[in-house]
Structure 1
Amino acid sequence: MSLVVVAAATVGLVVSKRRARERADQAKRDRLIEATDTMSGPEFEQWFARILVASGFRNVTVCGGSGDRGADVLAVAPDGRRVVAQCKRQSPSNRVGSAAIQRFAGTCRDIHGGEICILVTNSFFTAGDGIEIARQLNITLIDRNALEVWAWTGSRAT
């Protein structure tokens, strides 16, 4: 009987260590912005959700997909405000334009009740009207450079 207990404890310890190692390996991969370049859209949403969790956000939920009405990730910020994020996984040379920013602006607060609205891309935003619209509507734009800093440090670059 005691041999069974020892064996079960040993298996539990091995499994626990393996899971911890897998989590550490995933965290290391999550800091590499280049990894996002080969991800699908849903994989990028999951990746960004892990960044939020690692940064202290709570109740992080990935809800992207058809019919998401512009919200890919919902969360609660460390200060308690509701976060709505739209994720745009692109090739690094394909920039997110004004139309995507305008669509998100139309749903973030009114449809999803966002207090913090974030449009995040592994690429960059086109210069011009979209960036000004985001500024006027208090939508946070996170481009590749800011996202890389966030992934490495656990806090959003300003």
Structure 2
Amino acid sequence: MDVSKAMHAHADWVSEDTPVSEIARMMKTDDIGAVPVGKDDRLVGMITDRDIAVRVVAAGRDPARTRAEEIMTRGVVYCRTTESVEDAIHLMTQRGIRRLPVIDERKRLVGMLSLGDVAHAVGRDLSGELLHGVADHHR
């Protein structure tokens, strides 16, 4: 099965200068745990709810004054719509990633593939492999 059939279609992204407080509100409103960061129509980073908790709240930083570029994870790992879900699962497992941005043939962000998306799209064996792979680094 292609990633395009399993992913959560449509993914909003923010610019590097977006305040973290706005990103947190976006996460709450959209019930999501990760937001891609773009610059000049290119994916340049990701911010997760954990990034906000650890790099902003726990560090005592002001979310209204802290910008996305200050806390985002750079070097984003992504997959393409035409890749198989199995290949995406292996990539997510290898990198310990729970949410994977999906780009199309024009290199445009078109969706996100999450642990939940995988669980609904494939059998228990592959879902279990992914769950084990992304949780393994917490031991």
Q: Tell me whether the two structures share a fold, i.e. TM-score over 0.5.
A: no
| TM-score computed with the length of structure 1 as normaliser | 0.31
| TM-score computed with the length of structure 2 as normaliser | 0.33
Report which of the two structures shows the higher radius of gyration computed on alpha carbons: 1
More strand by share: 2
